Amino acid sequence: MIEVPVVFRYPPLKHIRIHKLGYMVFRDPKFREAFMQDPKKVMDELGLTKEEQDLVLSRDGVRMYDLGVQPYIIFALVWQAFGEWPSREQIAKLGYGRRITEKS
């Protein structure tokens, strides 16, 4: 049996603004367009804090995961928000492909 914490986790309430942004990005092509044009304006409108905005703009999906952001929202924020997909090259570049290695 492999020991890992819940991966597809409950969305922590403190991330509600980030989650709302990801939801909108994930579902709405026009919203994605607006975000790509002016991410700061869109994030200001949704009330994201400076820290949250920096996290989104960093596109650091590994850090988002470690901070507790819901994975499907991370997918939207790291890839869809920037019109990209997690190809082999992209995931290598962004430090994905972490292995679940701890076996008990």
Partner 1 sequence: MRHHGAAIDMAKIVGGAAGPHSPVVYKLPWPESPEYVSNMERLRQCYVEVGRRMRELGADTLLVFGADHVQTFWFGSFPQMMLFTGEEADYAVGGNKLMRLKANPELAEELLFGLVDEGFDVGFSQEIEFFDHPFTVPVYWILKGVGDADVRVVPFHVNTNVHPRVKPKRCYELGRAVRRVLERSKRADRVFVIGTGGLSHYPGTPYYGTIDEEADRYILEMMKQGKFSELSDVGYDWLDATGNHELGSWLAAAGAVDARSVEVMIYWPAWNNGYSVVWFVR
The Cα–Cα gap between 72 and 51 comes to: 20
- With a CB cutoff of 8 Å and minimum separation 6, the contacts of 103 are 1, 2, 3
Residue closer to partner 1 (CB basis): 33 or 54: 33
Q: Shortest distance, CB of residue 38 to partner 1, whole angstroms?
A: 19
Residue closer to partner 1 (CB basis): 57 or 96: 96
Residue closer to partner 1 (CB basis): 53 or 70: 70
Tell which residue, 24, 89, 88, has the closest CA to residue 56: 24
The Cα–Cα gap between 93 and 97 comes to: 10
The Cα–Cα gap between 91 and 54 comes to: 20
Q: Shortest distance, CB of residue 31 to partner 1, whole angstroms?
A: 8
Q: Which parts of this chain interact with partner 1 (CB under 8 A)?
A: 1-4, 6-11, 16, 19-20, 22-23, 26-29, 32, 61-62, 65, 70-76, 78, 80, 85-88, 90-92, 95-100
- Phi–psi pair at 84, nearest 5 degrees: -125, 175
Residue closer to partner 1 (CB basis): 50 or 93: 93
Q: Shortest distance, CB of residue 40 to partner 1, whole angstroms?
A: 22
